[in-house]
Amino acid sequence: MKDNKKIILSGIQPSGTLCIGNYLGAIKNWVDLQHDYDSIFVVVDMHAITLRQNPAELRKRCLSFAAQFIACGIDPKLSSIFVQSHVSAHAELAWVLNCFTYMGELNRMTQFKDKSKKNNANINAGLFTYPILMASDILLYQADLVPVGADQKQHLELARNIAERFNNEYSPTFKIPEPYIPNRGARIMSLQSPKSKMSKSDENENNFIGLLDNEKTILKKIKRSVTDSGSEVNYQNGGEGLKNLINIYSLFSGEKIELIEEKYKNQGYKEFKDGLTEVIIESLKPIQKKYHSLIDEKSYLEKILNEGSTNAMYRSRKTIQKVYRKIGFPQFKS
Ligand code: TYM
């Protein structure tokens, strides 16, 4: 552990296109927290194969997501970044924890229900047991805090329950992790169907803004986004669509909601949307600039990821050996 700092761990699946939902719900907080915590951020490629992926694209996306983490402000000098499949302890612990998780618990996972509805041609066992792999990601590193969006809350509760069960059965082995879910930004909604959350894997690209979307695309997507039949830029009286847009405006600009309402008091949705477009474009500009300068530096990115996985291998081995010893797997001196 670095300087006895508390540990944070979080991950993102390299599926679809990283979007402002992922940024405002998770990455933005990672960037702030990394200064005070021993921080670990994982590109969780093993999670991504619960849905079929094109191998060449998955490989490319892992590197691209890591570059986007750095472009958003994750500093490899402060934080470890690595690719999950490079550290075999994740799969190893997942197997053990499979035997400490009940079918009933997994059956209650709302994300499994949603995802299996959407993918009924491929409801594989991985999709069902995926929260156990997520618990392993967290518990392997003895994380204190897990900064995520609201959609991951249930998975975190399961991770805590599994850890407590194991600790009670043997002796304290795992730290019980706390979720870190921001008050605002934890649930950014889809631009065209604001009753559902914004998703980076949405088939309709107009539902999300990608971190790498160009100005024209952002303009078009905000223009098409759903507001209300009214015309007033008022949070309280607004429907889900308008509330979501005001929230996005506030989170990117750092301006309070009342200030935004005041700014657009005698103006309509068009002016508000123009302002919002500008705020998003300006906020994403430095991220995109950094990303484009990084993505061709393949050897630099690979070096960062190799350092990350070396560190992760060392730390995760400690936990896995402890677990193996406690459950009774023989360990011989070589
Ligand atoms: P994933 O890849 O779906 O999403 C990555 C992160 O982005 C957050 N997020 C959102 N936040 C606000 N509004 C939204 N519309 C929105 N959409 C996504 C998610 O909450 C998440 O924090 N199972 C996880 C990945 C994972 C993980 C872990 C996370 C694997 N192992 C260990 C933490 C710790 C997932 O599928 O996230």
Q: Is the pLDDT score of 263 beyond 90?
A: yes
| Judgement on whether residues 157 and 277 belong to the same structural domain of the protein | no
| Judgement on whether residues 287 and 323 belong to the same structural domain of the protein | no
For range 304-331, the mean pLDDT: 97
Q: Is residue 332 part of a domain?
A: no
Cα gap 295→77, rounded to integer Å: 18
Mutate to test the pocket of ligand 1, among 40, 109, 151 (most ligand atoms within 8 A of CB): 151
State if residue 10 touches ligand 1 by the CB under 6 angstroms criterion: yes
Q: Is residue 334 part of a domain?
A: no
Report the pLDDT value the prediction gives residue 120, as an integer from 0 to 100. Answer: 85
| Judgement on whether residues 151 and 89 belong to the same structural domain of the protein | yes
> Looking at 200, 221, 243, 273, which residue is catalytic?
200
Tell how far the Cα of 314 is from the centroid of ligand 1, in angstroms: 25
Q: Is residue 19 part of a domain?
A: yes
| Catalytic residue flag (residue 115) | yes
Cα gap 300→313, rounded to integer Å: 20
| Judgement on whether residues 48 and 139 belong to the same structural domain of the protein | yes
Let me know if 144 is exposed, middle or buried by CB neighbors in 10 A (0-12, 13-18, 19+): middle
Q: Is residue 186 part of a domain?
A: no
Domain with residue 285: its CATH number is 1.10.240.10
Give start and end residues of each alpha helix (H) in the chain: 20-22, 28-33, 45-48, 55-72, 89-98, 103-107, 110-118, 125-140, 153-169, 215-224, 240-253, 257-263, 269-294, 298-327
Q: Is the pLDDT score of 228 beyond 90?
A: no
State if residue 198 touches ligand 1 by the CB under 6 angstroms criterion: yes
For range 316-328, the mean pLDDT: 98
State if residue 202 touches ligand 1 by the CB under 6 angstroms criterion: no
Cα gap 328→291, rounded to integer Å: 47
Q: Is residue 169 part of a domain?
A: yes
| Catalytic residue flag (residue 195) | no
Ligand 1, atom 9: nearest CA belongs to which residue? 22
State if residue 138 touches ligand 1 by the CB under 6 angstroms criterion: yes
> Looking at 2, 77, 113, 115, which residue is catalytic?
115
Q: Rounded mean pLDDT of the chain?
A: 96
Mutate to test the pocket of ligand 1, among 13, 22, 72, 112 (most ligand atoms within 8 A of CB): 22
| Judgement on whether residues 34 and 138 belong to the same structural domain of the protein | yes
| Judgement on whether residues 129 and 249 belong to the same structural domain of the protein | no
| Judgement on whether residues 145 and 90 belong to the same structural domain of the protein | yes
228 or 11, higher pLDDT: 11
**DSSP code for 171:** S
Shortest-distance atom of ligand 1 to CA 12: 2
Q: Is residue 333 part of a domain?
A: no
Per residue in 83-114, pLDDT (tens digit) is 999 999 999 999 999 999 999 999 999 999 98
Where does the pLDDT of residue 245 fall: very low under 50, low under 70, confident under 90, or very high at 90 and above? very high
Where does the pLDDT of residue 334 fall: very low under 50, low under 70, confident under 90, or very high at 90 and above? confident
| Judgement on whether residues 107 and 24 belong to the same structural domain of the protein | yes
Share of the chain above pLDDT 90, in %: 93
| Judgement on whether residues 56 and 161 belong to the same structural domain of the protein | yes
Is the Cβ–Cβ distance between 15 and 52 less than 8 Å? Answer: no
Per residue in 109-142, pLDDT (tens digit) is 999 998 888 888 889 999 999 999 999 999 999 9
Count of domains in the chain?
Answer: 2
Cα gap 292→314, rounded to integer Å: 32
| Judgement on whether residues 268 and 236 belong to the same structural domain of the protein | yes
| Judgement on whether residues 74 and 9 belong to the same structural domain of the protein | yes
Report the pLDDT value the prediction gives residue 2, as an integer from 0 to 100. Answer: 54
Is the Cβ–Cβ distance between 151 and 197 less than 8 Å? Answer: yes
For range 306-315, the mean pLDDT: 98
Q: Is residue 239 part of a domain?
A: yes
**DSSP code for 331:** -
Cα gap 255→63, rounded to integer Å: 33
State if residue 207 touches ligand 1 by the CB under 6 angstroms criterion: no
State if residue 315 touches ligand 1 by the CB under 6 angstroms criterion: no
State if residue 11 touches ligand 1 by the CB under 6 angstroms criterion: yes
Is the Cβ–Cβ distance between 29 and 147 less than 8 Å? Answer: yes
Q: Is the pLDDT score of 1 beyond 60?
A: no
Tokens 């995520």 locate to 148
Q: Is residue 131 part of a domain?
A: yes
| Judgement on whether residues 280 and 214 belong to the same structural domain of the protein | yes
- The residue segments making up the domain with residue 120 are 2-180+298-327
Ligand 1, atom 7: nearest CA belongs to which residue? 22
Domain with residue 310: its CATH number is 3.40.50.620
User: Mind giving me the DSSP string for 187-202?
Assistant: SPBPSS-TTSB--TT-
| Catalytic residue flag (residue 197) | yes
Cα gap 298→16, rounded to integer Å: 21
Is the Cβ–Cβ distance between 138 and 177 less than 8 Å? Answer: yes
Q: Picking from 114-123, 160-169, 289-298, which range would have the lowest pLDDT averaged per residue? A: 114-123
Q: Is the pLDDT score of 333 beyond 90?
A: no
